[in-house]
Structure 1
């Protein structure tokens, strides 16, 4: 699949004579590299392909609030969940490329979903705007789980293949693929139970109906003692839960490539994309941003359009290989 998602500058052809007068009558010509002087002059929409309350919703609203205050215009968050996040992604891909529609989503929606199921979008339908955050991954168990570390859980799962369950917010999400990669590395069999979103899966984890999750959205519950943290997936411990050891400390290692990024529909004016990328960078660097995001197990990790576009292409190839080797199919 061709994934030419590079940021491309548009060309403007100015005709002389009568046509030139017509253009002047229509409005001022915008200098290359600058957003239109009147942008934005109406509300901006940020689509997220997941329901309210989950990690995607949290990061989208955080960024929307920061950018709204900076631009002095409303930034409306539109939750468009369904079909493993493909409904919202397709909606965003078909939105008008007028500089007022953007898409905030995690790795799985654009770099994973096309390899799992038939979808009505490709990477070519989007322009990368900016990478926003990366995630402190977290392995979480129900409160009454009889194990305190991931290493202890692995030993028990080896002794009882298929006895334990793990939840995800959908087939092919980073949460799901993290479990697949770790279970393969540990040589254990754990039953996958997919949900429509993180809130639903966490509710069942807290209710004892599921054994483990690989979703950082559980962080506040772990801090509150309502769930049990078994491991963090990053090389360093999460400063919010410093007593929870890393997977690496327990003899495991994994590359989840978990990020949240902003996209625009293909054809969005390059100058607007550049301006929105600058606003995103400002939001990620704003006072208190790191501490606020840590509460959701995220941290600011900005990349501009070109670097982010390259990352998306590389991650798409990475997950394609995993999905094909493991023969992962959408339910």
Structure 2
């Protein structure tokens, strides 16, 4: 089993290989030639390493539905949660590179997890296909919390260190590291309570058993008045909750780097990678896509294989440095 360092170094080296993406391969597919000429001729599977109901599931189903309609073939969502998203990731990495299994994952799964734990995959096992979305991050509190903004949360936490809790969908997820970065910048201490998924943590937030979350999955509940929106993490306010101020407006600023993207098992024909990237781009630009994604505090933010691959490498290094500096360890 590879060490954390060897996993990531190998992955970075492998990702650099996407510079050889073949335009000719894409043309061959479009012209009906080559081994992938008849793709797709059966259902495609989109693997997500998280349980149903959470943000990862929502984004995967959104992309699957739009791409299925465009291709005229079923795109089946396979939820494979467990072990902090490692089970689904390892399943996708071992899948046949035949163009019928793709992996839809957030930043944390491919750019963070390998720095936290030993895994049975490397980034070299995946081919970046397309970045789908970026996130309007959201800081949310239980409805009866004694604070209404992030700035007020900071004041309350400083007055009573260790009293308040924040929930995440696991150690080392983007949600967790957002909290770590914010707490360090604000000089506060909150007790981390990790869950297996976003829906479980939101259930406890709704029930008042947890104080705060940094997960955009809470947006519909904030809009419904069931939870409090304390801040958005983007430079601009989320148009779905225009009364919630940004962190920057409250004197705080972080680089959350939260996205979802599609990956293919390494070895998938480049013609198919090119075609799926084009389908992803169409899905993100399709009518109503932006408005539908805003419901989940996301927005279309497409990048193709080359640009997305560069982003994965950069974010891998960014989070490596945070994890090592803060000495964050997986449970």
TM bracket, shorter-chain basis: over 0.9
Residues 205-224 of structure 1: pairs in structure 2 closer than 5 A: 205-224=205-224
C-alpha deviation, 1:159, in angstroms: 1.0
Identify if the C-alpha distance between structure 1 residues 31 and 282 changes in structure 2 by more than 3 Å, giving closer, same or farther: closer
Q: CA deviation at 1:267?
A: 0.2
- Local SS of the residue matching 1:314: helix
Alpha carbons 2:50, 2:197 under 8 Å: kept = yes
Q: Distance between the aligned counterparts of 1:176 and 1:225, measured in 2?
A: 24
Distance 2:25 2:183 in 1: 54
Match of 1:34 among 25, 28, 31: 28
Shift of 1:271: 0.3
Unaligned runs of 5+ in 2: 1-8, 30-35
Residues 9/226 of structure 1: CA separation in 2 closer, same or farther (3 Å cut): same
SS of 2:249's equivalent?
Answer: helix
Q: Residues 179-199 of structure 1: CA distance to partner in whole angstroms, max 9, x if unpaired?
A: 000000001010000000000
Q: CA deviation at 1:9?
A: 4.8
- DSSP-derived class of the 1:33 partner: helix
Structure 1 residue 7 and structure 2 residue 18: aligned?
yes
Q: Which runs of 4+ in 1 moved over 6 A?
A: none
Distance 1:132 1:283, change over 3 A: same
TM-score, with normalisation over the residues of structure 1? 0.93
Tell me the CA shift for residue 283 of structure 1. 0.1
Match of 2:264 in 1: 264
CA distance in structure 2 between the partners assigned to 1:75 and 1:7 by the alignment: 25
What SS is found at the alignment partner of 1:276?
Answer: helix
Distance 1:198 1:190 in 2: 18
Q: TM-score, normalised by structure 2?
A: 0.93
CA distance, structure 2, for counterparts of residue 115 and residue 219 of structure 1: 29
Shift of 1:34: 2.7
CA contact (8 A) 1:8 1:270 kept: no
Residue 7 of structure 1: CA displacement?
1.8
Retained in 1: the 8 A contact 2:232–2:238? Answer: yes
Aligned-partner SS, 1:7? helix
Instruction: Map 1:1-331 onto structure 2 (within 5 A).
Output: 1-2=9-10, 3=12, 4-5=14-15, 6-7=17-18, 9=20, 33-35=27-29, 36-331=36-331
State the shift of 1:38 in Å: 1.2
Counterpart CA distance in 2 for 1:256 and 1:131 is 16
CA-CA distance at 1:37 after TM superposition: 2.8
Cα distance change on mapping 1:180 and 1:31 into 2, 3 Å? closer
Task: Give SS of 2:158's match.
Answer: helix
Which stretches in structure 1 are left out of the alignment for 5+ residues?
12-29
C-alpha distance in structure 1 between counterparts of 2:202 and 2:243, whole Å: 21
Look up the SS of the partner of 1:82 in the other structure: coil
- Quote the RMSD (CA, aligned, Å): 1.2
3-state SS of paired residue (1:96):
coil
